[in-house]
Structure 1
Amino acid sequence: MAQVNASESLWEGEKPCILVCQHRSCAMQGSARTLKAFENEALSDFTVEGSECMGQCSSGPTVRVTSDETWYCQVQPEDVPKIVEQHIKGGEPVEEKLNPRIHLRMYF
């Protein structure tokens, strides 16, 4: 499993990436199984990699989609098919899994 620094920028020409935190807090919440679930999906347009800490320790497992900087929290293996179908393939983020610390909702 490749480890990637979560703050690395996407270089031009590289595939977008789905990063799944594998650091302590996320690991204790089952992030290895979440990473495996993403790896088992047919995602030819994305790279799936484990990452170092992304700084969201209280809300793990954390998943970051680099193509549009979407951050998900508390992602379990059973959430992966919906994220893949609705967001990765369909372009619509899964709202109930968005990390509220990063994706603030505005209510008027």
Structure 2
Amino acid sequence: MKRCIFLFMMVLLSACGSSTYEEGEKIKADIVDVVDGDTVTVDMDKGGEETLRLLLIDTPETVHPDEPVQPYGPKASKYAKELLPEGKDVTVEIDTTIRDDYDRFLAYLWVDGKW
């Protein structure tokens, strides 16, 4: 009986710490880091720190482990870092698919009310 209660408490506690997201949900966040032109790390008000793969943006590779730095990749990363400085307030909008094959969060990013 004690074992059943222990397992129940563990499941309950783990459920309390996890966040669920719904399609179209918008969550306030702060920029933590720009990884490259289409990937950023944010601290979301709901769910903590996440690496986002920005939807509707595709820039040349600069940090892919199996690919060389591609032309204009560093320029795209520089632009993203200028647009999204550390601490910048943004809004993350959830899409229909939450994560990609690299476990990055797939989302639209609203900056100054625009995406």
- TM normalised by structure 1 equals 0.26
Greater CA radius of gyration, 1 or 2?
2
Higher helix share: 1
More strand by share: 2
